[in-house]
Amino acid sequence: MSDNNSSEELETWISNFCGLYGHDYFVEVAPEFIEDDFNLTGLSSIVPFYREALDMILDFEPDKPISVSDLPLVQHSAELLYGLIHSRFILTKQGLQQMVDKYDKKQFGVCPRVYCESMPFLPIGRHDQPGVETVRLYCPSCFDLYLPNSSRYLNIDGAFFGTTFPGLFIKIFSEIDQQIKLRNKKQYELKIFGFKINEESQFGSRMKWLRKLPKTEKEFEELNNCQYEIPLDDEEDIEDEDENIDDDQEEDDDDVEMK
């Protein structure tokens, strides 16, 4: 009996939330991270019933009893608050380590694209504001976004993972960059009787250049030249226009003197 009671006492709101059906994308945020007010900056203006929701997450007794009518609202606010805290926690060293464990186990799924060779997904939100869009899955190999393959994840807000997480994750764990390089960057090309379809055709492999990245020093140099030479061309056009205007004014002055 004592063992059963002790196991029930260890059940926290956070562990219960992360154990719910469809919540396996989440990691358990450390209570000490939540108790630090600096980590919660700005959230009180977003989440209604902020203090009650925070007490519920940390399993604290509220200062005032919550009425039965407000209990569902406080529960919803607690889930919203936890999700926004979660998006900040997974950017810390401790949070990233928990997420990499899920990534290694492919708990977020794998990319269905053939040439990505089952590259593991990373959860991402296209917006940092809650209530805009549900969670999406990012493939580091083809740089594209996908919907989760199960409807149980379609009610998870994308803001609970945020826009920063995948980029920071790939930057910190260099092994992922090696996994990307091992994948083939090819794009499938349609053929008719063995002949490739022209890229300019309606059915050709358009926008193929989007998947190409510079590899050699020459390609990097060409990329840098493209970035810095385009504005110069615009400036030259402006200078030519100014010269034409000056020439026109000189011709007008000559006409006035002739008269």
Residues 210/144, Cβ–Cβ less than 8 Å? no
Q: Where are the domains of the chain?
A: 13-95
pLDDT recorded at residue 7? 46
Residues 43/84, Cβ–Cβ less than 8 Å? yes
Helix, strand, or coil here: 135?
A: coil
pLDDT recorded at residue 1? 44
pLDDT recorded at residue 177? 84
d(CA 174, CA 251): 65
d(CA 29, CA 150): 24
As assigned by CATH, the class of the 13-95 domain is mainly alpha
Helix, strand, or coil here: 91?
A: coil
- pTM for this predicted structure: 0.74
120 beta partners: 110
Name which of 137, 121, 133 is nearest 159 in CA terms.
Answer: 133
* Amino acid in the structure at residue 136: R
pLDDT recorded at residue 174? 86
* 228 half-sphere exposure, CB direction, 13 A CA radius: 6
Walk along the chain (259 residues) and give the pLDDT tens digit of each residue.
445 554 455 689 999 999 999 999 999 999 999 999 999 999 999 999 999 999 999 999 887 888 888 899 999 999 999 999 999 999 999 999 999 999 999 999 999 999 899 999 999 999 999 999 999 999 999 899 999 989 999 899 999 999 999 999 999 998 888 888 888 677 777 788 888 777 666 666 655 655 666 778 887 777 777 655 545 445 555 555 556 555 655 555 555 455 4
- CA torsion through residues 116, 118, 123, 125, sign: positive
Residues 155/76, Cβ–Cβ less than 8 Å? no
Neighbours of 145 (CB within 10 A): 12
d(CA 19, CA 175): 29
d(CA 124, CA 137): 6
d(CA 90, CA 88): 6
**Token digits of residue 165:** 């997480």
d(CA 88, CA 160): 9
d(CA 219, CA 208): 16
pLDDT recorded at residue 4? 52
- CA torsion through residues 206, 181, 144, 118, sign: positive
Question: ∠ CA(165), CA(169), CA(175), 5° rounding?
Answer: 160
pLDDT recorded at residue 161? 97
Helix, strand, or coil here: 244?
A: helix
